[in-house]
Structure 1
Amino acid sequence: MNVTRLKELRKSVTLCRSYCYKLNEARVADFPTTYDTRGVQEHWDKIWKNNAYFTPKNDSASFRMILPPPNVTGVLHLGHALTVTIQDVLARWHRMRGDSVLWVPGLDHAGIATQAAVEKYLFATKGITRKQMGKEELLSAIQEWKTTKGTTIVTQLKCLGASLDWSREYFTMSKEHNAAVTEAFITLNERNLLYRKKDLVNWSPALQSTISDMEVELLEVSKRTEILLPGYQRKIPFGEMVEVAFQVKNSDEEVVIATTRVESMLGDAALAVHPEDARYSHLIGKEVFHPLRECFIPVIADLSVRRDFGTGVLKITPAHDRLDLEIGRKHNLELIEVINEDGTMNDRAKSFKGLQRFIARQKILDHLADKGLLRAVKDHPMVIPLCSRSGDVVEYLIKEQWFVRTQKMAEKLLAATKNNLLRIEPGKLEELWIERLENTKDWCVSRQLWWGHRIPAFKCSNSSETRWIVARTLSEAQEIASKFGSGWDVQQDEDVLDTWFSAGLLPLSAMGWPRVNCRGFYPLSLMETGHDIMSLWVARMAMLCDELTGQLPFEEVLLHGVLCDAQGKKMSKSLGNVINPEYVIDGISLEELNKRAQESFDTGVLSKSELKRTLSVNSKTFPGGIPECGVDALRFTLCAHNIKSDRISFNVIECKTNKHFCNKIWQACRYVLLVTDDGGIEQPTSLSAVDQWILSKMELMVERVNQNFAERNFYRAVNAVRQFFYYEFCDFYLEATKFGLKNGDKDTVEGHKWTLGKCLEVSLRVLAPVMPYLSEDLYSRLGRKLPGFLDVPSLMEAPYPRQGEVGQRNEVLEQRFEDILRVVTRMRNILSQVSRKSLLEVHVVLEEDERYQLFAENINFIVATTRVPNLKIVRRDEYIVGEESVCHEEADCKLYFVLSDKQVEDQMKKKILSM
């Protein structure tokens, strides 16, 4: 082929590509050239609100959820955004499928977390403590905090596009929720599922309250490690095993014990050994002299003692250790409490009385060393229980508290699970769910806080005895006490209930129970939340609500993984890697990020070390700040991960890429407007092979998206959308139509125009649950100018595409086109390695007549998608190989690249051989 002819062909391709953009420029006069989110969200939020799309269609709902209520401790981060996005996608999908959807928003008072946050804030900003303020003033400050944070959280939820029924918004400390809490507590008491007892609890000295297992963080150290704790001027060493000698009574023999908790030795009631340990069996039943208590204590035998731990001799301190308490109760040992609620040593600590427990530890070590009884101090791995709210080391103290009996409730829940009445997703967590239920422990629900639901229990005392009454009000309790006789003083318990107790009632209380009938809104269709609170919240919810109603509060539980940063580290204040969703939606500079971190430090939200880490992470991870991505791209990115994984890594770069995908969708819509006109386009009676192919692929996409939404595999649904729209529609089909629209006959042109419009109309409805704002905006713009679009004020009123809507799939055609796509993709890869100026022709040589016919009929498709104008489709028996060509085999055909430059030809041969 001569150079002049080659230039003409290339010019033809260029003209063809530019032709479409000169057709109907007037049709895109009001269509911006790039995707811009400004003003779009406010516009559609108003339309959705005015049309009351977020409220159920009637007095019942076929799909029901509650949003796990964010704590009013602070503002939402990306972990919350993940939960919101998952649930909103499901809510929007179900609405478009014709379901009446109820999705209820709310805020959790988060007793211990909120009180701790406010105390930090007050100390950081005003230098005052809870005790200095008093109860009423602190509660007033917390209420003000709740109002401020609650307003911010609601704004954030709306910015995420959450289609919540705001008319049903609740707060877990409202009068209505307090009534539900009281009713539940009284019901449990009447059913003998509630009791008050002295038992060992997790105690936070800094907060001076019992805390739940969830609020205990376990810090592992492998050797001596110094940690700065609240209330201490210097760091305290941990990770040490201390060996101390005890003298056997009436003997020269000594017994050496090993402990990591020297300060608790003042509460030792015995030493224990394994009954089969030959080293110590002769000591069982004897006594040893305690060097700190200065008295004799017994040596006992117990099978729970580990012979391989330390020296094999275990000191038993029943009042300050869970295992020791079990052993102590079996052997009727004395409970000797030596540590106060504030973490100081009490009267039983003798000369160490009043010292902070870890200062006392060092004093005790010095004392033992002076007496010659300290045998060793060694590095030793250990797990340190820390209060997640204060950073203090958790103590185990004996406290009289209220407990809920959970065993019978757990057994019913276990049976429901095994009988498939309750489904846990992902399935791999069902085994853990069952294990936790089988090993359930009674639940301590007392908390020594000022912020929370007062326990509806009353202490009735006279000069000789004390009784406890569970009642709704003080007057009711007084009436009950009067039946005991006169002289009883009745006072309500000062403690409040664990936050998880009120949270456990939410499937009921959020629907108005017990004041209104919840029929039609209970049980929930789905309970969706993070897997890290499966036992602490979901299981307790299921147990409490089932006990109160005789019906499980949900049939399906969906547990998503923990959101992590790009490096796979859990997002937390301590690591300094927490990202707020508005930073990604609106974008933020590094300077502003650091300014926000400094403000958090100034108000007590971040500690000094947390601020330092945050500034360091910001500088390393976001040296140029975080780019503006918009809410649609953020939602798409969150859905693009397997939410059922244990950990979900979020990378802002992915979000930026997905903003480009949003723009790709925008540009595709703009192109379709350019190549169409105002005239109506009826569905053609016959379509070209490429039109049939893309419609079949769209049918496959619709099928896969619906299936994966139903199975809660969001990432597969999103991948199906991306595969179709980005690659099959934009990358291949849309390019192919440019030749057909210019050079094709009337049927081809009409077929292309109708198919382009149909693909956009269906795709935007498919995308609506994930990208609501982009979809609404584009559907509204295109609906005014393209036939086939529904005349609806919002996609909220449009049906979600279902299988069969665009016709039947043509799997045979799809498979045949796969051959073409493989050839096109390989040609693109090869041609990306050389200069196209040296390319004269490309020959596609085929053996079979059927495949030759397929490629020949779709030559424009291949030319358009490879941008190779000088392309020939040839039968193998008619082809003569030229000396100047380079050959590559692909998909049962041979590709010959004819080059004008011998040097380029040699280079290309090497590259093809290396592929």
Structure 2
Amino acid sequence: MSELPKAYEPQEVEINWYQKWLENKCFSADVNSSKEAYSIVIPPPNVTGILHLGHVLNNSIQDILARRARQQGKEVLWLPGTDHAGIATQTKVEKKVREEENTTRRELGREEFLKRVWDWKDKHGGIIIKQLKRLGCSCDWDRERFTMDEDYSEWVSKVFVDLFNEGLIYRGKRMVNWCPVSLTALSDEEVIPKPQRSKLYFMKYELVDSPGEFLEISTTRPETLMGDIAVAVNPKDERFAKYVGKNVRRPFPEAEIPVIADDHVDIEFGTGALKITPAHDKADFEIGERHNLEIIDILHPDGRINCPEVPELDGLDRFVARKKAAAKLEEMGLLIKVEEHENNVGYSERADVPIEPRISMQWFLKYPAVQEATDAVANGDITFRPERWNKIYAHWMNNLQDWCISRQLWWGHQIPVWYRKDKAFDLKEAESLDVKDTESGDIYVGTEPPADGDNWVRDEDVMDTWFSSWLWPFATMDEQTRAKFYPTTDLVTGPDIIFFWVARMIMAGYRFEGELPFKNVFFTSIIRDIQGRKMSKSLGNSPDPIDLMEKYGADGLRFGLMRIAPIGSDVKFDETMIEEGRNFANKLYNACRFRQMQGGEAADLVIDESLPVYHLDILAKLDELDEKLEKAYASYRFNDVTQHLYEFFWTEYCDKFLESAKFDFRSGDDAAKQKTLGVIDLVLSKYLAHLHPFMPHITEELSAKMGYVAEGEFLMTKALDHSNVLDGVSAEAITRAKEITAAVHETAGRLRNLKAEYQLAASKDVVFVIKPVADWVAAECDTLALLVGAKEMQLQADFDAPKGTPASVTPIGEVYMPLEGLIDMDAEKARLDKEIDKIAKEVEKSSKKLSNENFVARAKPEVVAVERERLQEWEAKLAQLKEMRLALA
């Protein structure tokens, strides 16, 4: 046992222990181990990222699972790594190049620009990894992976080639999310819907065969009018039935376009008639496909108007053109009105500009192993927690659309397709391209460049970041590691990427490894501020986890956050809970210091029915704690685990057992003291092991300093002892001990309240008289006096209490508190009379308010409810005071 310093300094302790774990390879997984395998792969954070509270929650849960598995004797692989984050990283480096070198990536050229990106990655890529280490993450850092590692990139290319050769990958023109700033297609996950105050424009198109008669339509985008190819109405809308099949005149450039009927049209929106622009709206594109409509693209890739036929709009920014187009319609007498309109607009996550739905030549993937992936969740081979995500997953799997896997970026895995130089332009612009086209010999698809490379041009696009990360569970492992640790056991991730990552990994696992990639998926909560708002820099409500760790310690942050993270519910972050986590660490530390202050090694503890009831009670609760934790872990209810750990230590051990046991240290009975020390050591040693996954640093520190682990041994690698400590004690003895302990503590609480009512809380001179309910009460009087802070507990079965003596009916019997010599009776009567008068006025005031019909009718229901609750509290307090005053009369 090594002496603990007076104060706990978490930063020093945490850094020291983490370094020791690393030096001793405590996190390293052994592929040759005969132990049962447990594996988990980290959702790779962006290489440019920094730690936020969502990362803290996610990685704390993963660390808990990994550390718990080690305690269960399993061989654990927690595989870490980072994602190259194509568009996010490229955007940052492009900005840096503009600001520091006054140039662009295209002026630099692909090769030079990618050198800049790799330099950026080498400089900034390790920041979040260092931060995860500061949090205490027990990852196998020797196996850290990056999605642009050479061998990982080989996997990505091989998968592309295999799927292309199977006919699942093809190139074609489709509607995609397009960023006019980054000039690339985006995944749905990279598009952020934002509520906007827009305008709804009402205009009219003249019927060609009925001059002077108009069809009124509504739109939020008059600037795309030049691409209109039809007007659509709902076939069920009787207002427009007579127009279907007729033509209307598009104002500019002037053209005759048909009126069509389509069920997609919302009868309630606007006028009920929509202009159809297939090139610039996803729904319009689908309508256009159903009706074989022409596609007219009137936008340049950067969002400028591309329509020379209307020179006053051609070349204008889309939003400038919107106002100009509306003004032009007004000049022509075709603009009816403009109304304010609220709608959601998709923004590019990185460029923070509205995206454009755009027809673009892209590479697409028809998903493989769809049925296997669908069935895996439906039949329970893969368990989702919370279970409600099963239905959402199934819905998505049953409505799959081909995946746009290409991005117009340079940073990423370049498409492994080459075109013959003399045919390259025509091939790139072809309407479609798939495995059949390789028969011409003008297209080459492979993991290595063609042998005569000078005669070929490589496709410039790179693959969607998700196309590399969907291979993460197995592409991160070599063959030997996969043989031991694949499929993985758990995946911890956010529900926002259930489609973009989780579902795709499941399909990839079945297609490329022939089995599921993981057995359990735990979807973490979204962390919001105390008002329920999402965390964001702009709101200033997203605290820096590093600052929190410096202030409260990593263990304090982990424990505090886990206490407020129920399964399936959003987390409302409250820094006071992190402060409580720090306070809990201090309480634990001080409890261990208290143990050290009582002396050295305890004698061997004999656990039998001769132990005091308080000792048997805490040991029984220690056994119950083990059972509670097992059940909570089995259902992945981590906040329940945290709460069980908190309540056992703070309430059962510190507030109850330790306070009761202090009598043994004052009694002078060495045998009693040795028993108590033995129980303390047993409880603390097992409790620290249970707490370790949540607060790894302080538990390792205390276990070492208290001598609960051998020299050179680590708590984190020590098997957890699940045996019941009270196996040799009868159930009757345990029940009796628990009942007596509960009775004593409940009585102590009531008597402390009784003292407080008469302002005697701090007084140690109070003598209580007990009319006991059983013989055992006598043996507990000294302990009870200690708990209550009283001078003495007297047993008098026939006690005749003087009139006015305060009393309480308790589980140990009637207990009286004679006041003689303790208080000035006249002064106490005067105090109570004054307090009664004050409370009576509050009761009268509240009663009048609630009897006022206007107040009850006009006030908010919650205000009225609060007032009724106040009245009940005042009335209860008044009754109590009157009873106390009557006792003194």
Match of 1:37 in 2: 10
Deviation at 1:461, TM superposition (A): 7.0
Matched, 1:341 2:297: no
Match of 1:820 in 2: 744
Residues of 1 paired with 2:333 and 2:291: CA distance?
A: 31
2:742 is aligned with what amino acid?
E
Match of 1:401 in 2: 362
| Contact residue 338 and residue 348 of structure 1 kept, 8 A | no
1:856 is aligned with what amino acid?
A
CA offset digits 1:401-435 (Å, max 9, x no partner): 111113x6333222121211110011122222222
Change (3 A) 1:390 1:806: farther
Residues of 2 paired with 1:270 and 1:104: CA distance?
A: 54
Secondary structure of 2:787's counterpart equals helix
Residues of 2 paired with 1:882 and 1:726: CA distance?
A: 39
Matched, 1:79 2:45: no
| Contact residue 76 and residue 153 of structure 1 kept, 8 A | yes
Residues of 2 paired with 1:450 and 1:762: CA distance?
A: 54
Secondary structure of 1:380's counterpart equals strand
The correspondence for 1:540, drawn from 504, 516, 530, is 504
CA offset digits 1:158-181 (Å, max 9, x no partner): 111111111111110111111110
Matched, 1:582 2:504: no
Deviation at 1:392, TM superposition (A): 0.5
Match of 2:841 in 1: none
Between 658-667 and 39-48, the greater mean CA deviation after superposition: 39-48
CA offset digits 1:874-899 (Å, max 9, x no partner): 54xx2322224223345584443332
CA offset digits 1:823-874 (Å, max 9, x no partner): 223333443452346785354645743xxx3433322332222222333355
Match of 2:848 in 1: none
Secondary structure of 2:256's counterpart equals strand
Match of 2:871 in 1: none
Secondary structure of 1:800's counterpart equals coil
1:253 is aligned with what amino acid?
E
The correspondence for 1:289, drawn from 249, 269, 275, is 249
Matched, 1:841 2:766: yes
Match of 1:55 in 2: 28
| Contact residue 10 and residue 553 of structure 2 kept, 8 A | yes
CA offset digits 1:539-567 (Å, max 9, x no partner): 11111221112201011111101122333
Deviation at 1:260, TM superposition (A): 0.6
Residues of 1 paired with 2:629 and 2:702: CA distance?
A: 20
| Contact residue 641 and residue 714 of structure 1 kept, 8 A | no
TM-score (norm 2): 0.86
Between 332-341 and 134-143, the greater mean CA deviation after superposition: 134-143
Match of 2:473 in 1: 507
CA offset digits 1:764-791 (Å, max 9, x no partner): 11111111111111111110xxxx7555
Change (3 A) 1:346 1:888: same
Between 879-888 and 355-364, the greater mean CA deviation after superposition: 879-888
Match of 1:772 in 2: 696
| Contact residue 623 and residue 725 of structure 2 kept, 8 A | yes
Residues of 1 paired with 2:663 and 2:125: CA distance?
A: 56
Deviation at 1:193, TM superposition (A): 2.2
Between the two proteins, what is the percent identity of the paired residues? 33
2:73 is aligned with what amino acid?
G
1:860 is aligned with what amino acid?
D
CA offset digits 1:313-354 (Å, max 9, x no partner): 111111111111111111111001011111111136632111
Match of 1:258 in 2: 218
Change (3 A) 1:661 1:632: same
| Contact residue 65 and residue 525 of structure 1 kept, 8 A | yes
Match of 1:647 in 2: 570
The correspondence for 1:391, drawn from 334, 342, 352, is 352
Match of 1:729 in 2: 653
| Contact residue 769 and residue 816 of structure 2 kept, 8 A | yes
* Paired residues for 1:752-901 under 5 Å: 752-783=676-707, 790=710, 793-805=713-725, 807=727, 810-833=734-757, 834-836=759-761, 841=766, 843=768, 845=770, 848-849=773-774, 853-875=775-797, 878-891=798-811, 893-899=813-819, 900-901=822-823
* Paired residues for 1:623-638 under 5 Å: 628-638=551-561
* Paired residues for 1:219-234 under 5 Å: 219-221=194-196, 225=197
Secondary structure of 1:350's counterpart equals coil
Residues of 1 paired with 2:150 and 2:805: CA distance?
A: 84
1:242 is aligned with what amino acid?
Y
Residues of 2 paired with 1:814 and 1:440: CA distance?
A: 58
Deviation at 1:913, TM superposition (A): 4.8
Match of 2:847 in 1: none
The correspondence for 2:179, drawn from 194, 199, 204, is 204
Change (3 A) 1:707 1:124: farther
| Contact residue 305 and residue 318 of structure 2 kept, 8 A | yes
TM-score (norm 1): 0.84
Matched, 1:145 2:70: no
Residues of 1 paired with 2:645 and 2:444: CA distance?
A: 66
Match of 1:611 in 2: none
Change (3 A) 1:372 1:508: same
CA offset digits 1:268-288 (Å, max 9, x no partner): 000011123221111111111
Secondary structure of 2:125's counterpart equals helix
Match of 1:366 in 2: 327
CA offset digits 1:233-252 (Å, max 9, x no partner): xxxxxx11101110001212
Deviation at 1:797, TM superposition (A): 3.1
| Contact residue 411 and residue 438 of structure 1 kept, 8 A | no
| Contact residue 72 and residue 108 of structure 1 kept, 8 A | yes
The correspondence for 1:492, drawn from 435, 452, 458, is 458
Mind listing any 5+ residue stretches in structure 2 that lack a counterpart?
837-876, 882-889
CA offset digits 1:499-553 (Å, max 9, x no partner): 011110000111136xx67211211111111122111111111112211122010
Match of 2:839 in 1: none
Deviation at 1:651, TM superposition (A): 2.1
2:160 is aligned with what amino acid?
F
Residues of 2 paired with 1:904 and 1:455: CA distance?
A: 88
Match of 1:670 in 2: 593
| Contact residue 167 and residue 434 of structure 2 kept, 8 A | no
Change (3 A) 1:745 1:720: same
Between 637-646 and 552-561, the greater mean CA deviation after superposition: 637-646
Secondary structure of 1:271's counterpart equals strand
Residues of 1 paired with 2:832 and 2:681: CA distance?
A: 41
* Paired residues for 1:267-286 under 5 Å: 267-286=227-246
The correspondence for 1:240, drawn from 199, 208, 215, is 199
| Contact residue 266 and residue 349 of structure 1 kept, 8 A | no
Match of 1:683 in 2: 606
Residues of 1 paired with 2:665 and 2:173: CA distance?
A: 83
2:461 is aligned with what amino acid?
D
Mind listing any 5+ residue stretches in structure 1 that lack a counterpart?
1-26, 226-238, 587-627
Secondary structure of 1:217's counterpart equals strand
Residues of 2 paired with 1:480 and 1:207: CA distance?
A: 27
Residues of 2 paired with 1:497 and 1:701: CA distance?
A: 50
Residues of 2 paired with 1:480 and 1:381: CA distance?
A: 47
2:524 is aligned with what amino acid?
H
| Contact residue 772 and residue 814 of structure 2 kept, 8 A | no
Secondary structure of 1:644's counterpart equals coil
Change (3 A) 1:541 1:684: closer
Deviation at 1:255, TM superposition (A): 0.6
Residues of 1 paired with 2:583 and 2:352: CA distance?
A: 42
CA offset digits 1:183-205 (Å, max 9, x no partner): 11122223332222211000010
Change (3 A) 1:135 1:872: farther
Deviation at 1:670, TM superposition (A): 1.0
Change (3 A) 1:194 1:480: closer
Deviation at 1:79, TM superposition (A): 1.4
Matched, 1:70 2:45: yes
Deviation at 1:576, TM superposition (A): 2.9
Change (3 A) 1:358 1:858: same
Residues of 1 paired with 2:515 and 2:42: CA distance?
A: 20
| Contact residue 697 and residue 814 of structure 1 kept, 8 A | no
Between 343-352 and 309-318, the greater mean CA deviation after superposition: 343-352
Between 461-470 and 440-449, the greater mean CA deviation after superposition: 461-470
What is the CA RMSD across the aligned residues, in angstroms?
2.9
Deviation at 1:123, TM superposition (A): 3.8
Deviation at 1:302, TM superposition (A): 1.2
